Amino acid sequence: MMEIEEKYSAGIYSKRPIIIVKGKGSRVWDIEGREYIDCVGGFGVAIVGHSNEKVVETICEQAKQIIVCPTVFYNDKRAELLRLVAEITPKELSKTFLSNSGTEAVECALKIARKYTGKKEFIAMKRAFHGRTMGSLSATWKKKYKKNFEPLVPGFKHATFNNLDSVQDLITNNTAAIIVEPVQGEGGVYVADYDFIKGLRDIADDKDILLIFDEIQTGFGRTGKMFALEHYNVTPDILCIGKGMAGGLPIGATVAKPEIFESLDKGEHGSTFGGNPVVAAAAIAAIKYIINNKLPEHAKIKGEYLLDKLRRIESNVIREVRGIGLMIGIELRFPVKKYILEALKKGVLIHSSGISTLRMLPPLIITYKEIDMVIEVLEEVLKT
C-alpha cells in the first residue's frame, strides 16, 4: 500500500509510516488494527469526530436523492446551508460563496476585495498561512512555500503580527484589504492580542480598507467560540471558513457583507463543485451537531484542561506551550519530527507547525480520558 502511494502520488508530503483505514470519534485505526488517538484531526477538519453518525447518515440519504446540482439551478440543501451560515456568523455578513477548500475561500475574498474597493494591494501578516494557490500563496508568509513559484500576485506586503504600527506603515492609497488569522495556525499557534484585532478594525474603518478574517482553522468551535472573532467582538468585512464545516467533506466558504458581493457581475467568479448538495447536506448536519452538542464550550473547557496538563509537564525539551481552545502548539527546543514518530509508536497522532512546534487540533468531542492518555504519552515522549 505504502509503496503504491509512493510510486504514484506526487510525492510532496513527508509521510508518517502508517496506513489509516478507519476512524471513529477521536480515534483512527491502521491497516494492522492498531488504534491511535488522533490529535492531527485531519489538519483540524475532524471537528465533530471521524465518521460522525449524523454526518454519515445525512451523506448517505443525500447521495440517494441527488449528488450533482450546478449553481445555475437552485437546490434545497444549498439554500438551507446558506441560511444557516448567515445565522451563525455576524448579522452584517449575510452573503456566502461556497467553494471546495480553504484556499478557494481566500481566493474569492481577495478577488471581491479588489473588485469592491477598486484597489490592488493587500496587507497580510508575517508567519501567516492562507493557502497554496497563487493568490492565497501570495498572502502566505513562508519563503519556502513561495520562492520557486514566483512571480506571485503583485501587491502583497507583510506586517508584524500583533503590531499595529507595522500595519500602519504599510498602508497606501491603494490598499484594498488587511487579511489576518485571529490565531495563526500553520505559523506556530499564535493568538492575536485583543487590542490588535480591535485596532485593525479601527484602522480599516479609518482608512476605508476592508478587513478579512481567515477563520479556516479557527472556525466552528475550535478556539472555544463558534468563530474566533467572538473573542474580540469584532466583525470583519469578509470571513473565510472551511476545514470542519462539512464534517470532513471538502468545503470552503467566503462570507461577506452583501454590498461586497453585489459589486461582482454575473459570471465573474464561480466553481463547478461549490455548493454541491451532498457537501451542503453534510455541512448542515455538522453545523447542527456543533450547535446542539455545544462543541465550542467543549473546546474551551477541554482546551483549558489540556493546556494546564501540558504546562505541568516537566521537560527541558519544551520551550513554550501556547494556544486557545483545542488549538494548541507546543514549541520545543529541538526539531519535532522525532517526537512525532515516538508519539505515533505509542498510539498518539500529532502534527507540526514548522520545524520546532508540535500542533494539536483534536476533534472537539475528544474525551477527558483520551486527553489524559495523550498527556501520558507526551510526558514519556518529551522526557528526553
Ligand X SMILES: Cc1ncc(COP(=O)(O)O)c(C=O)c1O
Which residues bind to ligand X, rule: CB under 6 A?
43, 101-103, 106, 129-131, 181, 185-186, 214, 216-217, 242
Nearer to ligand X, 199 or 252 (CB): 252
Nearer to ligand X, 250 or 347 (CB): 250
Nearer to ligand X, 296 or 377 (CB): 296
Residues whose CB falls within 8 Å of the CB of residue 75, separated by 6 or more in sequence, listed in order = 66, 69, 275, 277, 280
Shortest distance in whole angstroms from residue 102 CB to ligand X: 2
Using CB positions, name the residue nearest to ligand X. Answer: 102
CA atoms of 265 and 115, how far apart (whole Å) = 10
Shortest distance in whole angstroms from residue 214 CB to ligand X: 5
Nearer to ligand X, 103 or 138 (CB): 103
Shortest distance in whole angstroms from residue 305 CB to ligand X: 24
Nearer to ligand X, 214 or 237 (CB): 214
Shortest distance in whole angstroms from residue 252 CB to ligand X: 6
Shortest distance in whole angstroms from residue 351 CB to ligand X: 10
Nearer to ligand X, 216 or 350 (CB): 216
CA atoms of 310 and 359, how far apart (whole Å) = 12
Beta strand ranges found along the chain (DSSP E): 20-24, 27-30, 35-38, 95-99, 121-125, 156-159, 175-180, 183-184, 190-191, 210-214, 238-241, 252-256, 318-324, 327-332, 348-349, 351-353, 357-360
Grid coordinates of 26: 477521536
Nearer to ligand X, 183 or 377 (CB): 183
246 burial via Cβ count (<10 Å: 0-12, 13-18, 19+): buried
Q: Which residues pair with 178 in a beta bridge?
A: 123, 211
Shortest distance in whole angstroms from residue 372 CB to ligand X: 28
Of 281, 244, 268, the C-alpha closest to 111 is 268
Shortest distance in whole angstroms from residue 361 CB to ligand X: 9
Using CA atoms of 360, 362, 367, 373 in order, give the dihedral in degrees to the nearest 10. Answer: -40
Shortest distance in whole angstroms from residue 243 CB to ligand X: 7
Grid coordinates of 324: 486557545
Nearer to ligand X, 136 or 381 (CB): 136
User: Left if phi > 0, otherwise alpha if psi is -120 to 50, otherwise beta: which for 314?
Assistant: beta
- Cβ 382 vs Cβ 318: under 8 Å: yes
Grid coordinates of 375: 498527556
Phi, psi of 305 (to 5 degrees): -60, -50
Grid coordinates of 6: 509512493
